């Protein structure tokens, strides 16, 4: 999901997406620990997605955009 697509979501949808992203990161870490994860680049991508969502939520909270 691109940043423009994330910005188009409502605040409630962003909070739901954040929960989903955290669950995804947990599952990726679990799969990595059990040596079932094939593509290790998925973990940084999930972290980056979480960071994007949190940044946009914080911007809205401060009224920046």
- pLDDT number for residue 33: 95
Whether the pLDDT of residue 64 is over 90: the answer is no
Per-residue three-class SS string for the chain: CCHHHHHCCCHHHHHHHHHHHHHHHHHHHHHHHCCCCCCCCHHHHHHHHHHHHHHHHHHHHHCCC
Is the overall model pTM greater than 0.85, yes or no?
yes
What dotted CATH number matches 3-62?
1.10.287.310
11-39 pLDDT, tens per residue? 999 999 999 999 999 999 999 999 999 99
């Amino acid at each position: 999901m691109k940043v423009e697509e994330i910005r188009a979501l409502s605040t409630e949808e962003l909070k739901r997406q954040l929960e989903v992203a955290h669950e995804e990161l947990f599952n990726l870490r679990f799969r990595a620990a059990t040596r079932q994860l094939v593509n290790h680049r998925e973990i940084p991508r999930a972290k980056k997605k979480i960071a994007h969502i949190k940044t946009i939520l914080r911007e809205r909270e401060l009224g920046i955009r």
